[in-house]
Amino acid sequence: MRKASACAAEETNRAARRAGRISEETMNEAKPHWLYRVIRRLVRRFSPKYRIVGSENLPAEPCVIVGNHCQMYGPIAAELYTPGRHAVWCAGEMMHREEVAAYAYRDFWSGKPKAVRWFYRLLSRLIGPLAELIFTNAHTVAVYHDARVIAAFRESIDLLEAGSRIVIFPEHYEEHNRIVHDFQDRFVDLARYYYKKTGRELDFVPMYLAPRLGTMFYGRPVRFDANAPIREERRRICGALMDAITEIAVAQPEHTVIPYPNIPKRQYPKNRAPEDRRDETTES
């Protein structure tokens, strides 16, 4: 009982700290765990480095950045390289060690060859404490696909009001095109709740992450229309963002796209279809 109360208090304190609702002195006392700080430095040193293109497209006011997931690359790059104050939407299951194993195996490794699945089942059980440490110390918002999602909206609105940007990777397993998978659309409701509370319409900024190019691209914002029906806005905004991300990707030099699902590397697509590459060669 005491342990549960302590965990709940720590989670509340972390959310309050991010939203700027506690004093600077308390923030200084509540530094991230020392092991997390070590891991963060190591990851920054050895993971891909990113240059930012299109930062002028980031509004001065708070906004929501929406990007392609790129497996583990997206959340890592967002945590380390997103300009300014920010928080990344992450699966709530990765923040509680007792939930990590089932979620990690199902979402990351269930498509692995049968001969090696035993290893990934074991790995998914071993990473629980480490996942909890990382995801509860990083700039994250816990998101669940059930009634608990309302807590994510509330925390996100508090963060936006405090001047932070929110980063969301809404892809799921249905393929949209060679660049992105279809977006789960309920994240758009964040703009509706934000408008109800603040009277301000929220911008959604498309982001294309290209680890093989070492570049994070930002496109022109898509603004929420508070006067339009929310179902139409979900469809319009998701479509506009997926189109923008695709256009950014196709406009870049030929490179391998890191897809959302954890598939064999030989199946990774290129940013341009073979026929497009042939046409370009013919024209030149």
Q: Which residues contact 166 (CB under 8 A, 6 or more apart)?
A: 62, 63, 64, 65, 86, 87, 88, 89, 141, 156, 159, 160, 190
**Residue 98 CB contacts under 8 Å (≥ 6 apart), including other chains:** 128
pLDDT of residue 114: 87
Q: Return the pLDDT at 30.
A: 61
* HSE (side-chain half, CA atoms, 13 Å) at 72: 9
**Mean pLDDT per 10-residue interval, the chain, length 284 residues:** 44 49 41 94 94 97 97 95 97 93 86 86 93 95 93 97 98 95 98 98 98 98 98 98 98 97 90 68 50
What does the pLDDT read at residue 263?
Answer: 84
User: Which pLDDT does position 275 carry in this prediction?
Assistant: 63
Distance CA 138, CA 231 (A): 32
The pLDDT of residue 264 is 85
pLDDT value of position 254: 97
Question: What is the predicted pLDDT for the residue at 233?
Answer: 98
pLDDT value of position 202: 98
DSSP-assigned letters across all residues of 164-213: -EEEE--EEEEE-SSS-EEEP-GGGHHHHHHHHHHS-PPEEEEEEEETTT
How many other C-beta atoms can be found within 10 angstroms of the C-beta atom of residue 229?
9
Confidence at residue 155, expressed as pLDDT on a 0 to 100 scale: 97
Look-up: residue for tokens 């979402």? 107
pLDDT at 108: 80
Amino acid 40: pLDDT: 96
C-alpha distances (whole Å) from 159 to each of 77, 86, 154, 164, 253 are 20, 8, 9, 5, 36
